[in-house]
Amino acid sequence: MPTITVPLGARTYPVHIERGLVSHLGPTLREALGECAVMIVTDDNVAPLYLKQVQDSLEEAGFRTGSVVLPHGEQTKCLDSLISLYNDLCAMGVTRKDAVLALGGGVIGDLAGLAAATYLRGVRFVQVPTTLLAQVDSSVGGKVAVDLPQGKNLVGAFYQPEAVFCDPETLNTLTDEYWRDGLGEVIKYGCIGDETLFALLERCAPGGREALMAEIDVILTRCVQAKADVVAQDERDTGLRMTLNFGHTVAHAVETCQHYEGLRHGEAVGLGMHVITRLTERKGMTEPGTADRLDALLSGLGMPMTLPDIPEEQLLAAMGHDKKNAGKTLRIIALERIGKCFIHQTDTGFFQGIT
């Protein structure tokens, strides 16, 4: 199985990628954790699909297990769920040598990770991501959080897992909507640092999801490697890690204006990459032809290509371009060309005329 290492000194950990892994996770996990109890946290979409096979496999390998099934969706990533998880961990008698296992997408990973980071000042944590987004992004890098009514991810920590186990076959049960969601981030990795990945995606695009799934091991490996490289150099998100935000300035603005009820995050990221690259190419900052190449891939993979009908001043305000922020420095990620990005310091007004 391909294994990528996230090299973080004493907190170095492996990301294993293997088809069918969820059904025989027990022995592999036993090697990683030794003897301990494991609390599996999942949601009500993932539980009927994968909980029994994971739990059976863990029990067969000698783990004492418990499980918590939470409602699916972003609204679960909140303080109330965190408190309810603490209660479950107390009831199971989880100690510091025991582990929390997140089985699900980014919502479950972020929430269970924050519970693991804080319960008893930190218990062991393992990620078994089951969405494309979680496999290529949220399960690697140690950002864990819950949302507040005031905004997303406002209470959180950097808390690295002890290991990540990706089973690409779990992606077969994802809806097309969540598949596209993860695809936005996959394309992003190609754009910012991996032209070989980008070219592979171009070759697969005409065959759609099926063709991409045929190459999924390579795709996941390249994405996770890219994330591991960035996280290793900037775990605490003070510089280079910002490059993972390519396309995100516009994406966040669109999501905010749509009150998170319109485009999915990855779709908004796709749109954001399209908008920023058209803009920077027009401004002479990006190699000519880059935007056409990116747009062909985005549209070939069914990503939305037109900004929703949102007044420009509202979009700019959501990016911090309101009067209060006039003159405020803004750092954006732009492409020099496909496979190479840079951080550009600019100010308000950069995005004027995008709609």
Q: Going by C-beta distance under 8 Å and a sequence separation of 6 or more, which residues neighbour residue 332?
A: 249, 276, 343, 344, 346, 350
3-state SS, residue 239: coil
Give the tokens for residue 290.
């880059």
| Residues of the shown chain interacting with ligand GLY in the complex, contacts defined by CB under 6 A | 137, 141, 143, 237, 241, 244
Cα distance between residue 262 and residue 49, in whole Å: 27
Rule CB under 6 A: choose which of 106, 161, 190, 339 binds ligand NAD. 106
Taking the least distance from each CB to ligand GLY, the nearer of 143 and 252 is: 143
Residue range at the interface with ligand NAD (CB under 6 A); choices 9-17, 170-178, 278-286, 290-298: 170-178
Rule CB under 6 A: choose which of 32, 49, 211, 310 binds ligand NAD. 49
Closest CA to 80 of 65, 90, 70: 70
Residue 174 interacting with ligand NAD (CB under 6 A): yes
Taking the least distance from each CB to ligand NAD, the nearer of 237 and 322 is: 237
Binds 244: which of ligand GLY, ligand NAD, none (CB < 5-8 Å by kind): ligand GLY
Query: Do the Cβ atoms of 182 and 133 come closer than 8 Å?
Result: yes
Cα distance between residue 339 and residue 272, in whole Å: 17
Binds 46: which of ligand GLY, ligand NAD, none (CB < 5-8 Å by kind): ligand NAD
- Give residue 169's region: left, alpha or beta (phi > 0; psi -120 to 50): alpha
Rule CB under 6 A: choose which of 57, 170, 245, 290 binds ligand NAD. 170
Cα distance between residue 237 and residue 242, in whole Å: 7
Closest distance of CB 65 from ligand NAD, Å: 19
Rule CB under 6 A: choose which of 13, 16, 33, 43 binds ligand NAD. 43
Binds 77: which of ligand GLY, ligand NAD, none (CB < 5-8 Å by kind): ligand NAD
Residue 178 interacting with ligand NAD (CB under 6 A): yes
Please provide residue 304's backbone torsions phi and psi, each rounded to the nearest 5 degrees: -65, 140
Residue 77 interacting with ligand NAD (CB under 6 A): yes
CA distances to 146, 265, 302, 304 from 270, in Å: 24, 9, 10, 7
Residue 18 interacting with ligand NAD (CB under 6 A): no
Give the tokens for residue 268.
């908004």
Give the tokens for residue 228.
């591991």
Residue 72 interacting with ligand NAD (CB under 6 A): yes
Cα distance between residue 181 and residue 173, in whole Å: 14
Binds 235: which of ligand NAD, ligand GLY, none (CB < 5-8 Å by kind): none
286: DSSP letter: S
Residues that bind ligand NAD (CB under 6 A): 43, 45-46, 49, 72-74, 77, 104-108, 110, 130-131, 133-134, 137-138, 141, 143, 152-153, 170, 173-174, 178, 181
